[in-house]
Amino acid sequence: MKIEPRSLLVLGGARSGKSRYAQALAEASARQPWLIATAEAKDDEMAARIARHAKERGPRWRLVEAPLELTPALRSTCAANRVVLVDCLTFWLANLMFAGRDAEADIETLARVLPELSGPVVFVSNEVGLGIVPDHALGREFRDIQGRANQRLASVCETVVAVTAGLPRLLKPAPTLDIRF
């Protein structure tokens, strides 16, 4: 099955292979790959992680850092001759929360702008709702916002893929289920 979406959401757990999968899709494209990175190097471990990812991407990639202003970065970066990879929505949402922003409003703005973008975009996001319920309010709030963000983006992206153990599984488009009782 060949799919050429203008918008793709890649979901998965931590270390599921979702970023590697999304990167491989972008690199296989004839378009110029651009990364909009949302993570910030706030400690040595994160700085090393970011440096490792940059080395893995190589010189073909262009980079835009947007820890908070994702929608404006997409508007200025997306183009017909580019494929833009946003890695990842989870860091972006955490950044919004810690900055005291209205994450729900920013998610809605992103969802409304997505169909207007002038080139293909791939979003990477963590599926955080499959584990235990966090034992503190901030963790539960984050899990809830992340879940709603994934649902909202899945509703507007043309294609949604879940990656588990490095294996992609197509969620959207999918056959309509006709379940009756």
Residues with a catalytic annotation lie at 53
The token duo for 61 is 């990639």
124, 160 Cβ separation under 8 angstroms: no
